[in-house]
Structures are given as C-alpha cells and as structure tokens.
Amino acid sequence: MIQKTAPYGLMLSDLYLFNKGCSYHSYRFMGAHVMDWEGEEGVRFAVWAPNAKEVRLVGQFNNWDRTGLLMERIGSTGVWVIFVPGLGEGAVYKYEIATFSGERLLKADPYANLAERRPQTASVVSDLRGFSWRDQKWMNTAKNKTAYSNPMIMYEVHAGSWRLKGKEDFLTYDELAQQLVPYVAEMGYTHIELMPLNEHPFDQSWGYQITGYYAPSSRYGEPKQLMNFIDCCHAHGIGVILDWVPGHFCKDDHGLRSFDGTPIFEGNDKKLAEKPLWGTLAFDFKRNEVISFLISNAIYWMDMYHFDGLRIDAVASMINLHMDKPPELFTWNEHGGTDNLDALRFMKRLNETVFHYYPDALMIAEDSSAWPAVTSPTYLGGLGFNFKWNMGWMNDVLRYMSYDPADRTHYHHLLTFSLLYAYTENFVLPFSHDEVVHGKRSLLNKMPGSYEEKFAQLRLLYGYWIAHPGKKLLFMGSEWGQFDEWKDRDPLDWMLLDYPLHGKMKHYVKALNHVYAKEPSLWERDQDATAFQWIDVNNAEQSIISFIRYGKHGFTVTVANFSRNGYSHYRLGVPQPGCYRMILGSNEGQFGGTDSRSKRKYNSEKLGWHGYNQSISIYLPPLSFQLFRFVSGDTQ
C-alpha cells in the first residue's frame, strides 16, 4: 500500500507535486506552521535540502544547541521535517545543515513568513491565520472589472523612504495605512505599486536582492500589519501591486546560495547562475522544486495578503542569456541561440497558473527587450503577461524633453514614433524610480531652461503622458517636482511643498489624475488602435502635436506645444461640429502657469483644417498641454 501521509501530517501527494514542479501552494506545508499534533500545540518545520547529510533545528528556544532536534528526512523527496511541541509564534530559528563535505551551515528558512529585523538574519515563526479581512466588496468588484478598459494610474512607492520618523526609523505598515493610503486616494491614483517588500539584508538594494521570499520585511512591522495596510487600501478603492523578483537572489550566507552545501536553487552551471552586474545568482529554471517555490510565492502574495498583482522585475535579463554578462560567462541554448528557454517556459507557466487562480490579477512585465507578444496569451505563443512597461516610449520622450525647446524641431520623431507600436502590446507608461537615480537627475531637473520653464515643461510632459495610450506609473515625489534625485536613505523632500511652484505642481498632478479617471476616452479603448487619431503628427517646425482619443460614447482632443512660441489664434482641425470645452490646461495660473483667461469653450467653425471640415481657433501658450472634451453638437 502506498503511504499517503509523511510524519506530522505532511501529505506525500503534496511532496510529490513539489518535486514535480507542480505544487502551487507549497507554502501551506513547507516552512514553519503552528499546529496541533496528537493533542499537543507546537510548530512543524519542513525544509527542502536534498543533498544534506543531516538537518537540525536550532534557535533561541534551545540556546542554539547544535546537537539536538535532528530533523527526519522523508524518503527521496529531499524534504526534512520535525515537530516541536510547546513552540509558538515568535520563536526564532534557523536550520543547521550538515553537508557531506563536512561543513555545517546555518540557514534561514526559505519559506519563513517573518525574519528578524536586519542586521539579524534568523527566521521567526509567524502564524498568518486569523486576520479579519474586510475587503470582500473590493475582491468581488475586482472580479467584475476588466483592467484593460478601466483607468489605471499607479503610484510607485519605496516604503522605506516615502516618509521617515528618524534615521532608519521607518514608518510601520500600520502607519503607512494611516498616512500613505489617504494621500494616494486624495491624489486620485488607482493603485499603489510597492517596491519589493520581501525580506532583504541590504537597504540600498531597495528590496531587489532578496533572502526571504515569503517574509514581508520586518523593517516595517509584522505580516498582519501588512495585511491591514492592503485591507485599508482596498477600503479606499486602491489596488496594490508588489514588485516581484524571480530572476535572481543575493549571495548572503544565510540565504538560498548553496543552501544544502550544493547549488540547489541556482543550479550547477556557474555561467548560467552568475549575475555579475548585480553580484547575485539566477534561479535554476530547469529545477522542478525551484519552479514550485517561485510560482507558489507568486500565488502566496495574492492568497495570503490579497495583493492585486505583481510587477515582474528584470524580464529582459531573464530572457537573454548574455544580458549584462562578460563574454567569459556567455552560454547558448540547445538551438545555438541566446534565449533562455527555461526562463521563457517558467514565465509562461507562471502566468497560466496565476490567471487560473486569479483571472483578474495584474501581471506586469518590466521588460526592456524587443521580445514579441509579451502580453499575448500563451496559447497564442505569447508570454502571458497582461501588461508590459513601455520602456521605448519612456526613453524617447525623456530624451526629447532633455533638448532645449529651440532644438526640438530636429527630434520630433521621438514624440511620435511610439504610435507605430503602441498597440502591439498592452503597455504601461512608466516614470519609475530607475529614471531618478544614479546621476540621471529628477524628472523636474531633466527639463531644460529657467526655473519656471522646468515646471512648465514637466506639466506639459505629464499632460502628454496622461493623454497618450497606455496605463500610467509615476514614482513618489515626482508629483510635486522633487528637485533632487531620489535619496533612498532619506525621506522625500516634503518641505518643497511650502514653495509655490512645487505646491501648484502637486495640485496639477492631482487635477490631472482626477480628469484622467473621469474621461473614459483616455483609458476605455487603450488596446484599440482605431480609438486614436492624429490631428497633426508632422508639425516638427512648430514642435506641436495634436490628436484625438475616442471612448465608447465620446472623445477628447489633445494639443501639446513643446516650443517657447505661443499663439493667440492657433487653428485646430476637429472631427465634428459643435462645442469643445477645455477641461484642463497646464498653463493655468492655479497650476503655476501664466494663463488667467477665462474662456474654456470653443465653438467650431465650418473652416477646413488639418484634413477636417471643422476647426476651432484657440489660445495656445508656449510649453503647454491642453485637453478638450467634445460636449455638444450645438454650436450656440
């Protein structure tokens, strides 16, 4: 007879699926679990260490005694297990792994739900059961909303530097719920995208070099506090996305590297494993147990914490075997190419699995490659993500804005080229943390010209960004024109809001966000190429562009002037006769501009222009963005 259970209630069927790479909820049986076993309360520990000679549990509870608490190996599964009666939440522990080469390694639990606050590195028993979620309405509503045809404007946040109470005195998850969530709701963002919260040893890695994939960082509190934060977001109508890093992990001794004395997470081929640019190791996407570990982790954040989606980091680096590597580390696939076929298979299965359990999840690829069909379904040959960052648009438009307005006539294509491919993927237009660090300067400080012109051009840039097809992402502090680069050890420069132009910039971004949310034409048909129409695409001489965005029941007209020249009577072709109301202008005085004119409605004239039979004559200030809504067929 086949044994169905392993020691202490573990199911052999679960371990079989784990070994086959098909366990998508492995966190339910791996790691530390508070439980009752045969009438005794305690904690069961289970760890995968297939090449270990023996594994012992050590911790504060036994004074880190390396001679006791020998774990039991479960056949050929590579999993070791022990039940310790009397233990409960808060127990601090590690696994001591004896290798066949004679080493004795102290390792944190790869499946731990909590870790000690750095610089300490042990795991901590944490029972995730019992949190009283109040977001059922949100969860049910989310199931009925299609992300593609709804507004999405994400606020990217580094939890350790949005605000600080003092040097390395971080806001807790509860304090972020009290301060960050109302701020984001007031500003009109639809989602918060959190830079990685997984436990990591080095603050300046920003969470992208992880040791605890299942542990939200203890810098900011405990797991149930994070649950409360997300619950609070949902109560305010805000979705939450987590930056997730399946491509590589850090080399710290207590982490995944050579976990049982052999490279079980990173694989034996050092050329494949090494990520020299970051000093990290890539996961071995051939190994079944690694696939179970990673896909379970993606599911874990949605299952246990109610995250609404994941932004997958460094997809291009996962795809390309040569990316960011010196020639001596080059490898080729079985066909002689540079595509990482195992990573591609992993991403497809990841997305298939996530959407099986969470059909409305957001799976967003941070991908700078030209790989085709990243956001196409896997059954059509795609990678299966539902959104991809548009890095090409971001690089082109920031390069364009870096030129003095007098020189932009030579670079007009950088503004317009994106519409040749804007509908090939489901895009997010990102102004992320990556664009405001390492000497790149803040978005405001990238703008050329005088102090006032910098603000005018940033308002113009944001207007073009909001009107361009694609979902949106903006890094924290950019909403008021942070002047310095992001400083990850210090809080944002909130004092800048005391200065008029910064305060008015924040007011502008708030107004822009709310206008975006109320204008279906700006997001309702984001994936429909027929919903976009240029009015004037070729006006390089004046550095002006204009276009139409169509919704299901109306349309808006955008005019953006990237030059220092203003026009008292700029004639603009329009598709229908009637009244056009300016619903937002970046040069308005309330936003820091110079325009005090009260006229906001323009009736069309039967005067052909830009290929249309109708046109309007508008005041077009220099370095300005204007958005018009067609409001009526009545010209009176």
* pLDDT value at residue 1: 35
The pLDDT, as a whole number, for residue 166 is: 86
Q: For position 67, what pLDDT does the model report?
A: 85
* Spatial distance between the Cα atoms of 593 and 20, rounded to a whole number of angstroms: 62
Is the pLDDT at 635 greater than 50? The verdict is no
Range 223-234 average pLDDT: 98
pLDDT at position 20 over 50: yes
Residue 441: pLDDT band with limits 50, 70, 90: very high
Confidence of residue 169 (pLDDT cuts 50, 70, 90): confident
CA atoms within 13 A on the CB side of 345: 10
Q: Where in the chain is the domain with CATH 2.60.40.1180?
A: 529-632
DSSP H/E element including 508: helix 500-518
Confidence check: pLDDT of 246 > 60: yes
Report how far residue 263's alpha carbon sits from residue 281's, in angstroms, rounded to the nearest whole number. Answer: 10
CA distance 281 to 256: 9
Contacts of 279 (CB under 8 A, 6+ apart): 209, 250, 251
Alpha helices in 59-199 (DSSP H): 136-143, 173-187
Percent of the chain with pLDDT over 70: 98
Task: Tell how far CA 485 is from the center of its chain.
Answer: 20
User: How many residues make up the chain in this entry?
Assistant: 636
What is the rounded average pLDDT of the residues 457-486? 97
Residue 109 annotated as catalytic: no
CB-CB neighbours of 63 under 10 Å:
9
pLDDT at 432 over 80: yes
pLDDT band at 263 (very low <50, low <70, confident <90, very high): very high
Predicted local distance difference test score (pLDDT) of residue 581? 95
Average pLDDT, the chain: 95
Over residues 375-404, the mean pLDDT reads 97
Q: Which of 260, 289, 366, 519 is catalytic?
A: 366
Q: Which fold has domain 7-124?
A: Immunoglobulin-like (2.60.40)
Sheet-wide strand order for 555-561: 532-536, 544-550, 555-561, 624-632, 579-585, 601-603
DSSP assignment string, 160-190: TTSSEEETTEEPPHHHHHHHHHHHHHHHT-S
Under a CB-based contact definition with an 8 Å cutoff, are residues 546 and 538 in contact?
no
Reported pTM = 0.96
Under a CB-based contact definition with an 8 Å cutoff, are residues 195 and 160 in contact? no
**Cβ distance 214 to 282 under 8 Å?**
no
Domain 529-632: which topology? Immunoglobulin-like (2.60.40)
Residues of the chain with CATH 2.60.40.10: 7-124
Q: Is 313 a catalytic residue?
A: yes
**Per-residue pLDDT at 3:** 53
- Identified catalytic residue from 14, 156, 313, 367: 313
Give the pLDDT of residue 2.
45
Helices (H), 358-425: 391-402, 413-416
Please write the tens of the pLDDT for every residue from 345-383.
Answer: 999 999 999 999 999 999 999 999 989 999 999 999 999
Q: What percent of the chain has pLDDT over 90?
A: 94
